[in-house]
């Protein structure tokens, strides 16, 4: 599974794996792919430094990258506290009522809530870059489109390629005009934030829109056959995220959540604003149903929604309240029906890819 882009980066397979877990990112790189560590959950530079130290030590010298969440337009002088003060009391009450209805316990006194969506803030994302550029990172990806021009220039000064996610050909063209190096065409089927165009339509549209820039196909890809299809559509590789959630190297901290993922079918996800305020595909749960119910208060725009639900999500996860327990995941969850190592996933991807290419060659009479 080699392309011009994979050869440029020195990887064996044109498989780029996004993950919040350093152990998974390292295993992807060791297996011949390209591990990309998601940085949005790191709110302190020393936390990111700790995990990049670990990743760098366990990638066996193979290349890896970092994914940040940085808006293209800079917002000056806005603190997290000021933003959080904008949350209406009616929405806070709705969270309290929903948790109480399901008997979700409070956090222990003095215990801080876990993950908060603060990586979107300008100062947090830039502090992550200050750390990242001290490491041999080969790719910087941005989940909110093209990063600011000075960030692209700084990455290029460090010989780091810049990728940006796009949900339409129009977005892809804007990224190309901004000077990025790789477009990740993320289809409607993907986990997390997505647009409304399916991968089969989006991938060739993005390829045509930004040629000769390389495009990675993302969304609904979890088999070697689908990798072959993506390359046939003109992509120079695939960007996989959901597939790694049920690998043995992943650390979801929840046996109940792992069970839900393994049992879920491709129709058990929903594109909802319940988690961040932007449409994000995730497991459908009674939590997403409550927020999507027209009788409720409706979700708030990003980042207010993420700040509003941060403690609630931490409580749901800590106490494994299964009716409410979910995670961002794509429609490919229907194939994720057993726990396997990252290497085992790669072994299956490559075997299926070879079979698919051989089939195409036979059809073409080769």
Whether 43 has a pLDDT exceeding 90, the answer reads no
Q: How far is CA 139 from CA 117, 161, 305, in A?
A: 22, 5, 29
Distance CA 65, CA 101 (A): 42
**Torsion angle, alpha carbons of 123, 127, 129, 135, to 10:** 180
**Among the listed ranges 99-103, 122-126, 181-185, 231-235, which one has the minimum average pLDDT value?**
122-126
Q: Please give the sequence-ordered ranges of beta strands (E in DSSP) within the chain, or none if there are none.
A: 15-19, 34-38, 64-68, 139-142, 161-166, 182-186, 192-193, 215-218, 237-240, 269-272, 280-283
pLDDT tens digits, 280-331? 999 999 999 999 999 999 999 988 898 899 999 999 999 999 999 999 999 9
pLDDT band at 81 (very low <50, low <70, confident <90, very high): confident
| C-alpha closest to that of 271 among 261, 258, 283, 255 | 283
HSE toward the beta carbon, residue 114, CA cutoff 13 A: 12
- Using DSSP's 3-state secondary structure scheme, residue 317 falls into helix
Structure-token pair, residue 227: 């990798």
Whether 336 has a pLDDT exceeding 90, the answer reads yes
Distance CA 315, CA 107 (A): 6
Instruction: Give the mean pLDDT of 64-89.
Output: 79
Whether 337 has a pLDDT exceeding 90, the answer reads yes
Whether 60 has a pLDDT exceeding 60, the answer reads yes
65-85 per-residue burial string, b: 16 or more CB within 10 A, e: under 16: bbbbbbbbeeeeeeeeeebee
Distance CA 55, CA 140 (A): 15
Supply the pTM of this predicted model: 0.93
Query: H or E element: which one contains 105?
Result: none
Q: What are phi and psi of 41, to 5 degrees?
A: -85, -5
Whether 120 has a pLDDT exceeding 80, the answer reads no
pLDDT of residue 75: 55
pLDDT of residue 302: 82
pLDDT tens digits, 148-189? 999 999 999 999 999 999 999 999 999 999 999 999 999 999
């Amino acid at each position: 599974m080699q392309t011009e882009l994979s050869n440029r980066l020195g990887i064996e397979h044109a498989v780029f794996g996004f993950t919040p877990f350093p152990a998974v990112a390292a295993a992807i790189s060791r297996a011949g792919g390209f591990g990309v560590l998601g940085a949005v959950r790191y709110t302190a530079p020393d936390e990111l430094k700790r995990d990049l130290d670990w990743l760098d030590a366990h990638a066996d010298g193979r290349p890896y990258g970092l994914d940040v969440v940085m808006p293209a337009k800079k917002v000056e002088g806005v603190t997290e506290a000021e933003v959080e003060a904008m949350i209406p009391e009616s929405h806070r009450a709705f969270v309290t009522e929903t948790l109480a209805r399901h008997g979700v316990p409070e956090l222990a006194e003095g215990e801080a809530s876990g993950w908060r969506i603060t990586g979107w803030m300008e100062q947090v994302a830039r502090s992550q870059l200050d750390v990242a550029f001290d490491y041999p990172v080969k790719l910087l990806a941005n989940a909110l489109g093209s990063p600011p021009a000075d960030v692209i220039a700084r990455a290029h000064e460090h010989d780091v390629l810049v990728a940006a996610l796009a949900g339409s050909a129009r977005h892809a063209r804007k990224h190309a005009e901004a000077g990025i190096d790789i477009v990740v065409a993320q289809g409607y089927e993907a986990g997390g934030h997505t647009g409304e165009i399916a991968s089969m339509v989006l991938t060739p549209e993005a390829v045509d829109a930004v040629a000769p820039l390389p495009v990675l196909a993302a969304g609904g890809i979890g088999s070697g056959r689908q990798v072959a299809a993506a390359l046939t559509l003109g992509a120079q590789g695939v960007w996989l995220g959901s597939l790694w959630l049920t690998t043995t190297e992943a650390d979801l901290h929840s046996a109940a959540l792992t069970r839900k993922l393994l049992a879920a079918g491709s129709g058990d996800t929903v594109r909802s604003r319940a988690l961040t305020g932007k449409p994000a595909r995730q497991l459908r749960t009674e939590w997403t149903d409550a927020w999507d119910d027209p009788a409720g208060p409706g979700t708030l725009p990003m980042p207010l929604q993420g700040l509003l639900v941060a403690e609630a999500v931490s409580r749901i996860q800590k106490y494994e309240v299964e009716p409410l327990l979910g995670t961002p995941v794509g429609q490919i969850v229907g194939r994720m029906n057993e726990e396997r190592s990252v290497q085992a996933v790669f072994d299956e991807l490559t075997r299926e890819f070879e079979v698919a290419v051989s089939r195409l060659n036979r059809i073409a009479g080769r």
